[in-house]
Amino acid sequence: MGEKNRPLAGKVVWVTGSSRGIGRVIATHMASLGANVAVHGTPPFSTRAFNEADSLETVAKAIAAEQRVDVLPVHGDLSDESTVKTVAKQIRERFGPMDVVVNNAGGDIGSQGTFKESRNEGGRAEASGK
């Protein structure tokens, strides 16, 4: 496929929440456009929740092989600022500056409570990961 058909060739894209589901589809599409991609999951084995892959590493290798780009698996809880900084540093060290960030992370809202709800002291509902 020529450069003309890969308009993101040489670009760096981080897709948060891309270990499975729509995030994985977005990451694969960005890679098909030529971008080097960082795929992300909160834990490195979040892919197992719905039997979509064995690990984040497996997802990265599959996208890289299919699209012939460099794919970096990264993981961490993006609600923690220091984790965001660490993950962003890993991406920059591998690829250089990021050109695109797709913020797809939003917590597990999968079937049958991969997320559980609890009540805080004021009685308000709060979601917390299992």
Residue type, 5: N
Q: How confident is the model at residue 4 (pLDDT cuts 50, 70, 90)?
A: confident
CATH number at residue 119: 3.40.50.720
Q: How confident is the model at residue 106 (pLDDT cuts 50, 70, 90)?
A: confident
pTM of the model: 0.78
Q: How confident is the model at residue 64 (pLDDT cuts 50, 70, 90)?
A: very high
Q: What is the mean pLDDT of residues 84-97?
A: 98
Domain count, the chain: 1
Question: Would you say how long the chain is, in residues?
Answer: 130
Q: What is the extent of the structural domain holding 123?
A: 3-129
